[in-house]
Structure 1
């Protein structure tokens, strides 16, 4: 169903004839879009992302296609594996998570970025875990973001200040992730 545009409702006029072509163009297209809107789900399954300390935000890499759980409109590409590029304009629900390897030093952060810029209210910062024997998973707040459908893209970014490079970690159901779902026009 890649690239199906949101249907534009037909305004009926007196004397209009409900032909099969008109009904298909309106009702079938509408029902098809509503039942299969743009959606993207990615998790890190094999390849982790190394995050340098204190150098700014780093985009999380979803380079393993096995971790692309859903991409109903083809917005992910292996040539830019950190991004989901919207194929249809509209408002989208977006959330993400970053799972850091165990380390007790410094702070951790996760945020959603739209076309490289932070989405206001879609970030989380925390202190390093006491003891550092456990991985740290940080979820971003769920936010609604407008994407133009002609180049806007979403990423999950990570930040850490441990004093050295720190990688993301994959622990089965605890891993870095990006979730994008069409909400409305």
Structure 2
């Protein structure tokens, strides 16, 4: 999508349907339906201890700007529209009291933003949520990375909606 830019009208300019459509209709349509995505993973993954793992997503609840593929780089949401996005992710691990669990949003595989860390839990749902605002140029991508150090591979929990990753465009 292209974010419409406000027009500066000049004295004596003739108003046409094309100008109204381009300058008013298209801007309103963009604001009514900006880029938005929500991704899920239907089964758990089991990252090895002390190894950062990228979370894949095999299901799209919504992807208005076609920035995600369930086949190629399924862990990534790639921006098709430049701007600031509010990004969020949620992942839980099965019960294990040893060590800790971490999750972070990465931009272009390198820039770590909004890390979250919790201790292991002996019972219940060891879930984490991260959220934050990031700027994405066209072709920049975001991913959700997870890490745990329980001493062995530890599965993500698929109950309560399973791992989720989403975001929405908020401004230019």
Structure 1 residue aligned with 2:123: 133
List per-residue Cα deviations over 1:49-107 (Å, max 9, x = no partner).
2211012x2111112x3xx1110000001211111001000010111111111211111
Q: Does 1:21 align with 2:18?
A: yes
SS at match of 1:52: coil
What CA distance in whole angstroms lies between the structure 2 residues aligned with 1:119 and 1:94?
Answer: 13
What CA distance in whole angstroms lies between the structure 2 residues aligned with 1:33 and 1:43?
Answer: 25
What CA distance in whole angstroms lies between the structure 2 residues aligned with 1:50 and 1:20?
Answer: 57
More strand by share: 2
What CA distance in whole angstroms lies between the structure 2 residues aligned with 1:75 and 1:49?
Answer: 23
SS at match of 2:96: coil
Equivalent residue in structure 1 for 2:104, among 103, 106, 111: 111
CA contact (8 A) 2:95 2:120 kept: no
- Give 5+ residue unaligned stretches, structure 2: none
Deviation at 1:47, TM superposition (A): 2.2
CA contact (8 A) 2:87 2:132 kept: yes
Structure 2 residue aligned with 1:54: 50
CA contact (8 A) 1:47 1:62 kept: no
TM-score, length of structure 2 as denominator length: 0.94
What CA distance in whole angstroms lies between the structure 1 residues aligned with 2:134 and 2:140?
Answer: 10
What CA distance in whole angstroms lies between the structure 2 residues aligned with 1:107 and 1:94?
Answer: 23
Structure 2 residue aligned with 1:145: 134
- Give 5+ residue unaligned stretches, structure 1: none
Count of paired positions? 171
Structure 2 residue aligned with 1:181: 168
TM-score, length of structure 1 as denominator length: 0.88
What CA distance in whole angstroms lies between the structure 2 residues aligned with 1:146 and 1:119?
Answer: 13
